[in-house]
Structure 1
Amino acid sequence: MWDLISPEIFSIQNLCLLGFLVASIAVSSLFTLSYATPWVRRRRAEYLEPEIVYRSSPEQKFPVLLQEDRDAPKRYTPSSCYLSVIIPAMNEVERIEIMLDDCCDYLEARAEKDKDFTYEIIVVDDGSTDETADIVVQIGARRQNLRVLKMKANRGKGGAVKMGVLHSSGKLILFADADGATKFADFENLEKEMLRTAGGEPLDESFPAVIVASRAHLEAESMAVRSVPRTILMLGFHLLVYTFAARTIKDTQCGFKLFTRSIAARIFPVLHIERWAFDVELIFLCERWTVPVKEVSVRWTEIEGSKITPIWSWLQMGRDLVLIWFRYTIGIWTDDQPR
């Protein structure tokens, strides 16, 4: 059979032509995928609009992180507390109280010991159709410094985190998932790494740094209990992340990340993705800007009730992370502050 194939087929000219055709198909496919996958274009004015504290009496407004003047020497307004905790939540009636009890127990105990430790907790209700926001208000009546920012419509986890961060007042800003999968006391591990990275105490909020919680040390254990198809999808997603987006971080998706005020003001207005893959774009931009990003192992327990559909959500995230690389590479997206 091979004797019937002419050696001329494998000439350098033909191989170059084949390579050109494959590359052309790949590029045209990426352009088609990019065109067929829209994104919401946000304007800076949206982030400067006042947001009302849900069910506050008298009516109160959240502060704004960004300076009104886009060209001001500092992008961010001065902080008024040490730590802001941002918790995105959508239809979390079953899980939010357990998570908030863990969070508030730690923060209240630490504030009791250290009078310089001031904090706020902002639960961002991402268009819930249940009583999540009202339950949090009830919890806030017996807890300290807990408020709700209620979104008018669902934006996705990334969009909810962004709105919470851009209406926070902390030197440090932490976002934490509402499922409580990470023990809140592990914040101290992230904080210690942040202080080491930023030059020690007192914390310099102008130093750009990001500390991410990691479950990478638990990966072998999780693979042992996962099905083979889910394991293959997980490993494929990690490969795509490493190839197209983030090479310094093993676990981009853990919902427990800590930012200084300055880097939060720089990076969150730029983010284009507002759903699950926003973490990947965040790390991608940090690497692009050579911002220090450190990874810290935390305790983590899988909690029932995840909003992620295992196969479909992973496919969506895989598509989005390829588009992150493609759109930034060819200039469809830029890392400039929005107008």
Structure 2
Amino acid sequence: MSDGPRPDPTAVEVSVVLPAYNEEDTIESTVRLTLSTLSEFLPSGSFEVIVAEDGCDDRTPEIATRLAESDPRVRHFHSDERLGRGGALTRAFDAADGETLVYFDTDLATDMAHLEELVESVRSEEYDVATGSRWMPGHEADRPTKRSVPSKGFNLLVRTFLRSDVLDHQCGFKAMSRGAFDQLKGDIGDDHWFWDTELLVRAQRRGLSVTEFPVEWEPKGDTKVDLVRDVFGMGSQIVRLWWQLSVRPRITTRVTLVAGTLLVALAVLLMTRYLDPREVIAEMRRADPTLIALAVGVYVLSWPVRGYRYRDILAELGFREDLGFLTGAIFVSQTGNLVFPARAGDAIRAYIVKVRRDIPYPSGFASLAAERVFDLLTITGLAGIVLVGYAVSGQFGEVAATVSGGDDPGQIAVAGAVGVGGAALLVVAAIVTSARSGGNRIRQFVGWVTDDSYGEYIAGVLERFVGDIQRVGADSTAFARVGAASVLIWTIDVLTAALVLAAFGVGLSTASLLAVCFFAVSVGNLAKVLPLSPGGVGLYEAAFTLLVVGLTPIGPAVAVGAAILDHALKNVVTLVGGGISMFALNVSLSTAAEETRELNEPEPVNE
């Protein structure tokens, strides 16, 4: 920050912020016109103009510094990196002295004759927030089609989905009281162009008084909005804000449990339309009980491996625990995932290691994240490897024929799975390469697609994803052990499914049986990532069935029966192990769920 001798901050009533990014051609004239306009209706010393310069790479910083040094009413906030338009505004308003906070675009597209009305709407305490409007009836701005059509479409979507009464959300000519800003700044999630819209929507939801008045507006120069990248990003922001305001506050444990149960019931009803349940039950009764029992025994073997892998992950975080305790903690958490929706059991494990071994919650959640990373990498990698195996064995033509064979549900499922598998190979390779390189270039890659805050959020998630691997991968031996354990865990899962399918006497060769099960189990577990039902019941069976039917001559009744038995026996083993572990560790599932719910409780949203 650079500024000259400033007037008494306590005397400043109005702070005008000019967000500036590469404005060397206009910033000086804009600052001077702003000062002269403010002086026409405000007392001397009662206002300030802040240039919120946002990582410019032109002469804007030099000009802003000179202006601040020559006029005590001007302040300059410099940033070496892009904060985003909303980020720059938030930073400047936080440091501003006035109780009335104003901002407008530096190109002065809005006629400055409206500045007094904007300022006085809030300064008079008549309204909490005021905004100019280019789209009020009888005052529509004359804009080029390429800018007016997206703008009107965007405002229509905001009014429809976010229940806003404002006609023009993105007009860069707004004011608010200090109290309104303090209430809203912590809730606004965007740091770029959507900041304006979110400000208005959240102000209305909080019951603040918002006024919109028509302004004379003339487009100046080229817009800095990228009509592909930013419009896409702002569309995703509408979805994000709609979810936060209208959906998430209503998602309680009871609601998700009921919704998940209804989805499973609906899936069963739809299945009966195409398949006779009696035929499925008959096929299940004919399954070889010896092979089913063997499948149970094989699946049980995966649990100590899970404990071993979790022990290695925690060791890399600086915590050393015994194998039995960790295996029990995993049993309890997986039981929680079967009982509660949205994978709530994952947080239960963090609770167990905290109260029983005093491992801090951040470390507990970090260990869970690392484990999930390796799970996802392994199952997606397995799906991709199977595709390669089909190609090497010369059977890829059969898969391709199945994919292009029509609109049968099985064929559609295989087509989707092929896409998932192919993409998985590329994503796994990119993530592992990035993780093992010691660098993290995720944000740079996401920045090529979008630079709005939603993209920043996605980049942050992916960075943590890679960072969790890097944490374990810092030790090459530990990375190899955890990776090998993950492959073994999911190979056992696949062998369990293969034994179940073989119990139905399907007549497939061992190679074909394993190949289809590797693919079906991988994609089935990827489907379970969607937290639509407790334990992914229904999602796994659907994905497994469609892939088996699409890739083999096995009939739907057998495929459904095998999918149900496979998932059921795995869930029964989990529940039995979870019950024993809860007794051994003296842990109450309901108490653990309540404790962890408080940790993840979203902040209330006033509507």
TM normalised by structure 1 equals 0.66
Matched to 1:168, the amino acid is A
1:215 maps to which of 125, 134, 137? 134
Shift of 1:247: 1.9
Shift of 1:155: 1.4
Q: What is the CA–CA distance in structure 1 between the aligned matches of 2:226 and 2:197, rounded to whole Å? A: 18
Once the two structures are superposed, what CA deviation does each residue of 1:61-98 show, in whole Å capped at 9, x if it has no partner?
xx8xxxxxxxxxxxxxxx54110011111111122122
What secondary structure does 2:142 align onto?
Answer: helix
Q: What is the CA–CA distance in structure 2 between the aligned matches of 1:252 and 1:272, rounded to whole Å? A: 16
Matches within 5 A, 1:1-339: 53-54=1-2, 56=3, 80-111=11-42, 114-115=43-44, 118-194=46-122, 198-199=125-126, 209-217=128-136, 220=140, 222=142, 225-227=144-146, 231-328=148-245, 329-331=247-249, 334=603
Q: What is the CA–CA distance in structure 2 between the aligned matches of 1:178 and 1:330, rounded to whole Å? A: 37
Determine if contact 2:123/2:177 at 8 Å carries over to the other structure: no
Shift of 1:142: 4.0
Q: What is the CA–CA distance in structure 2 between the aligned matches of 1:256 and 1:81, rounded to whole Å? A: 20
Larger helix proportion of the pair: 2
Once the two structures are superposed, what CA deviation does each residue of 1:198-243 show, in whole Å capped at 9, x if it has no partner?
35xxxxxxxx7101111114775536x425xx55433321221112
Larger strand proportion of the pair: 1
5+ residue gaps, structure 2 = 250-600
Matched to 1:154, the amino acid is R
Determine if contact 1:108/1:144 at 8 Å carries over to the other structure: no
Shift of 1:129: 1.3
Question: CA 1:220 to 1:88, structure 2 compared with 1: closer, same or farther past 3 Å?
Answer: closer
Q: What is the CA–CA distance in structure 2 between the aligned matches of 1:246 and 1:269, rounded to whole Å? A: 21
What secondary structure does 2:28 align onto?
Answer: helix
Matched residues, number: 252
Q: What is the CA–CA distance in structure 2 between the aligned matches of 1:144 and 1:128, rounded to whole Å? A: 23
TM normalised by structure 2 equals 0.38
Q: Which moved more, 1:286-295 or 1:99-108?
A: 99-108
Determine if contact 1:121/1:146 at 8 Å carries over to the other structure: yes
Determine if contact 1:270/1:335 at 8 Å carries over to the other structure: no
Shift of 1:303: 0.8
Q: What is the CA–CA distance in structure 2 between the aligned matches of 1:244 and 1:209, rounded to whole Å? A: 23
Matched to 2:32, the amino acid is D
Shift of 1:325: 1.0
What secondary structure does 2:199 align onto?
Answer: helix
Q: What is the CA–CA distance in structure 2 between the aligned matches of 1:139 and 1:298, rounded to whole Å? A: 28
Question: CA 1:135 to 1:335, structure 2 compared with 1: closer, same or farther past 3 Å?
Answer: farther
Report percent identity of matched pairs.
26
What corresponds to 1:40 in structure 2? Answer: none
What secondary structure does 2:99 align onto?
Answer: strand
Determine if contact 2:132/2:212 at 8 Å carries over to the other structure: yes
Question: CA 1:122 to 1:260, structure 2 compared with 1: closer, same or farther past 3 Å?
Answer: same
What corresponds to 1:205 in structure 2? Answer: none
What corresponds to 1:11 in structure 2? Answer: none
Question: CA 1:127 to 1:291, structure 2 compared with 1: closer, same or farther past 3 Å?
Answer: same
What secondary structure does 1:249 align onto?
Answer: coil
5+ residue gaps, structure 1 = 1-52, 64-78, 200-207
What secondary structure does 2:106 align onto?
Answer: coil
Q: What is the CA–CA distance in structure 2 between the aligned matches of 1:257 and 1:315, rounded to whole Å? A: 24
Determine if contact 1:183/1:300 at 8 Å carries over to the other structure: yes
Q: What is the CA–CA distance in structure 2 between the aligned matches of 1:170 and 1:255, rounded to whole Å? A: 19
Once the two structures are superposed, what CA deviation does each residue of 1:154-203 show, in whole Å capped at 9, x if it has no partner?
1110111111111111021101112211233412112343356x35xxxx
Determine if contact 1:280/1:321 at 8 Å carries over to the other structure: no
Shift of 1:109: 4.0
Determine if contact 1:240/1:322 at 8 Å carries over to the other structure: no
Matched to 2:159, the amino acid is Y
Determine if contact 1:246/1:283 at 8 Å carries over to the other structure: no
